[in-house]
Amino acid sequence: MGNLPGIVVMGASGRMGQMLVHTVLQSDRARLVGCVERPGHPWVGRDVGEAMGGAHIGLPVTDDAVGVIAQAQAVIDFTAPAATVATATLTAQARAVHVIGTTGFNPEELQKIRAAARHAVIVRAGNMSLGVNLLVGLTRKVSAVLGPEFDIEIVEAHHRHKVDAPSGTALMLGEAAAEGRGVHLDEVAERGRDGITGARDSGAIGFSAIRGGDVVGEHDVIFAGAGERLVLRHIATDRAIFARGALAAAIWGQDRKPGEYDMNDVLGL
Ligand SMILES: NC(=O)c1ccc[n+]([C@@H]2O[C@H](COP(=O)([O-])OP(=O)(O)OC[C@H]3O[C@@H](n4cnc5c(N)ncnc54)[C@H](O)[C@@H]3O)[C@@H](O)[C@H]2O)c1
Ligand SMILES: O=C(O)C1=N[C@H](C(=O)O)CCC1
């Protein structure tokens, strides 16, 4: 038991945080050594089991990230961009594996994460599920075969609380579609149409985001041609798929060389 990797869950009260706490507690391949919330959060100081509405497990939620990360072999982080960038400095100092599920980073934040990966293993993916990571490969392949006479549109739907758009998954799919065509997504992405937009640019990759209710996550990649349409679709119905992927990444990352990895590396895709 003592030599199983010790895991810290950042943002333990969040939708993903709670799912991660359950997933690590149920695993026989890792142990939960810390649960972190932001300073001032009402869960800080409370037993995490009781805070989640269950039995006492003897692990209080803390806002002392430095203290718990020093005891850990891996940190699983589904929080917010600024919080994740700050945590990357701590995991780099502690040489702990940092599994990053957070989405919505700007280029400067991504640069800071890249810098931290010089010192420690970082596994980062906008979606940690097996299905989506397979869909990314399929999207790249279909995009390469069909060519620019097929218009590519990516449509995603998520719950009402999601704060970033397009979703991290939609951006992964867009990047794969662009790679398939040998172009950079930044040069062809069309985000947010409104008003008299003019006709669609040939070669554009369009994004649309739906937000509502409790949708866990749905993604369509549409290839629309003359007289036919191909749609690749992933539907997530349970956040456990993301948590399982994240825990697999934390275990996979043990004893790897420092660097930034993704779920293709973890899943061997
Ligand atoms: N990569 C994936 O597979 C995947 C899957 C689901 C969600 N996500 C992403 O994960 C992130 C979180 O999603 P969510 O639905 O769980 O959000 P959420 O708002 O329910 O949870 C985020 C939690 O992080 C906490 N937090 C914020 N700042 C913190 C800090 N400095 N220290 C510690 N905790 C802090 C918040 O208090 C909150 O409890 C989002 O970016 C989302 O897009 C990624
Ligand atoms: O609930 C979320 O937020 C999700 N975020 C990821 C994204 O941005 O793609 C993965 C799906 C769920």
| Residue 158 a catalytic site member | yes
Q: Exposure pattern of 247-261 as b/e (b: 16+ CB <10 Å)?
A: bbbbbbbeeeeeebb
Structural domain containing residue 71: 6-128+239-267
Q: Of 18, 78, 124, 127, which is best to mutate to test ligand 2, by the most ligand atoms within 8 angstroms of its C-beta?
A: 127
**Which atom of ligand 1 is least distant from the CA of 167?**
43
Give this prediction's pTM.
0.98
Residue 251: what pLDDT?
98
Ligand 1, residue 241: give the atom nearest the CA: 3
Contact 134, 126 (CB under 8 A): no
If one counts the domains in the chain, the total is: 2
Do 52 and 73 share a domain, yes or no?
yes
Residue 115 and residue 46 share a domain: yes
Residues 151 and 20 in one domain: no
Q: Looking at the domain assignment, is residue 219 inside a domain? A: yes
Report CA dihedral (261, 38, 130, 146) to the nearest 10 degrees: -70
Domain shared by 174 and 123, yes or no: no
CATH number at residue 182: 3.30.360.10
Which has the closest alpha carbon to 157: 233, 93, 231? 233
Same domain, 35 and 101: yes
Strands 6-10, 151-158: pairing is unpaired
For residue 133, say whether it is annotated as part of any ligand binding site: no
Given the residues 98, 158, 219, 234, select the one marked as catalytic.
158
pLDDT tens for each residue of 55-82: 999 999 999 999 999 999 999 999 999 9
Single-letter amino acid, residue 103: T
pLDDT tens per residue, range 145-175: 998 899 999 999 999 999 999 999 999 999 9
Is there a domain that residue 1 lies in?
A: no
Strand partners of residue 206 = 153, 190
Amino acid at 42: P
Same domain, 112 and 152: no
pLDDT band at 192 (very low <50, low <70, confident <90, very high): confident
Q: Which ligand is nearest to the CA of 90?
A: 1
If asked whether residues 41 and 140 sit together in one domain, one would say no
> What is each CA distance from 262 to 45, 118, 126, 241, 249, in whole angstroms?
33, 15, 9, 16, 9
Identify which of 46, 79, 164, 263 to mutate to test ligand 1's pocket (most ligand atoms within 8 A of the CB). Answer: 79
Task: Name the band, by pLDDT with cuts 50, 70 and 90, for residue 2.
Answer: low
How many angstroms is it from 102 CA to the middle of ligand 2? 8
CB 33 within 8 A of CB 72: yes
* Residue in the structure block whose two tokens are 């779920």: 263
Length of the chain: 269
Residue 164 Cα to ligand 2 middle (Å): 9
Whether 189 is covered by a domain: the verdict is yes
Testing ligand 1's pocket by substitution, the residue of 48, 103, 105, 127 carrying the most ligand atoms inside 8 A of its CB is 103
- So what's the pLDDT on residue 232? 98
Does ligand 1 come within 6 angstroms of the Cβ of 34?
Answer: no
The interface predicted TM-score of the complex, written ipTM, equals 0.99
Output the residue whose Cα is nearest ligand 2's atom 4. Answer: 217
In a domain, 123, yes or no: yes
Is 38 labelled a binding residue? Answer: yes
For residue 36, what pLDDT is reported? 98
The answer on 87 and 107 residing in a single domain is yes
pLDDT digits (tens, 9 = 90+) for 17-54: 999 999 999 999 999 999 999 999 999 999 999 999 99
Tell me, what CATH number does 54's domain have? 3.40.50.720
Residue 130 above 90 pLDDT? yes
Annotated ligand binding at 3? The verdict is no
CA–centroid distance, residue 200 to ligand 1 (Å): 35
Q: What residues contact residue 230 under an 8 Å CB cut-off, 6+ apart?
A: 142, 146, 150, 222, 223
For 132-149, what is each residue's pLDDT tens digit?
999 999 999 999 999 889
Question: What's the CA dihedral at 155, 157, 158, 160 to 10 degrees?
Answer: 120
User: Does residue 68 sit in the same domain as residue 100?
Assistant: yes
Average pLDDT over residues 246-262: 97
Burial of 131 (0-12, 13-18, 19+ CB in 10 A): middle
Judge whether 14 and 38 are in contact, CB under 8 Å: no
In terms of domains, do 217 and 243 share one? no
Q: What is the DSSP letter of 119?
A: T
Mean pLDDT of the chain: 97
> Do 118 and 100 belong to one domain?
yes
Same domain, 101 and 157: no
Domain assignment present for 216: yes
Looking at 98, 162, 219, 234, which residue is catalytic? Answer: 162
